[in-house]
Copies of this chain bind each other. A is one copy, B any other.
Amino acid sequence: MDVVILVYDGLTPLEAIGPFDILGKLPKARVRVVGLESGLVHSRGGTLGLRASAALEDVHSAEILVVPGGAAADNLAHDPTLGAWLRRVVPTARAVLGVSTGSLILAGAGLLQGVEATTHWRALDLLAGFGAKVVRRRIVTSGTLTTTVGAAAGMDAALAIADQVAGRDVALAIAQLLGYDPEPALAPGDLFKAPDARLHLARTGLEHP
């Protein structure tokens, strides 16, 4: 299974590494970590560096493609080189996962026109502005395109893709390896009905390494 994970300066690392460690466990997985150019990319604050082992121009297809979100996704949605690459590679994939604001990047490439999709709850209006049919759910799948509200939802969606491409036994074995919890102790409830105070704290009161 040919898995391609896009990385870029200003990504949210967990949105790439969650799917990396889940989809990378698929039988016969080959994972490529792909940057706009090869070399190091950094999280927004520069705290974490991740190495892209390939550049866009090295990658012409993917069976599974992961597009993480992050602070830089809003701008990257307008990058013409990345947009052209996505329009070439997305049609080759049997599953494409836009995590959080990664869906803005897919939408900016014109790939979500009239398509049901979701994104991080901070960016729902931006996604609608690109012509997507916004659905307020954690995980939305339209054909080969899956989009999610955040990093944890991206991991759940990656497991669902493992289920789809490799079967339930493999997906549950991966969940077993990761120690998934059947009954989370600290659950935020309906993400789209969160109290205003929590949304305010999440937007402005937390760090974003």
Contacts and interface: CB of A to CB of B under 8 A. Distances in A.
Interface of A: 12-14, 17-18, 20-22, 24-29, 31-33, 40, 47-51, 53, 100, 120-121, 138, 148-156, 159-160, 163, 169-182, 184-191, 194, 197-199, 201-202, 205-209
Contact of A53 (B28, B32, B47, B50): B47
Contacts of A201: 169-170, 173
Copies of this protein chain in the complex:
2
15 contacts: A24-B207, A24-B209, A27-B207, A31-B209, A50-B50, A100-B179, A151-B178, A151-B179, A173-B206, A174-B206, A175-B187, A176-B191, A177-B202, A180-B186, A182-B188
Contacts of A187: 175, 180-182
A113 to B, nearest CB: 24
Contact of A14 (B17, B53, B198): B17
Given A20-B14, A173-B206, A197-B169, A184 B181 contact: yes
Contacts of A120: 179
Given A160-B185, A185-B156, A188-B182, A47 B21 contact: no
Given A151-B178, A154-B179, A160-B186, 12 more contacts: A18-B18, A20-B209, A21-B151, A27-B206, A32-B47, A33-B48, A50-B51, A160-B185, A169-B197, A171-B186, A180-B187, A182-B188
Please indicate which of the listed interface residues A32, A50, A53, A184 has the most CB atoms of chain B within 10 Å of its own CB. Answer: A184
Given A20-B14, A206-B26, A180 B184 contact: yes
A32 B47 CA distance: 7
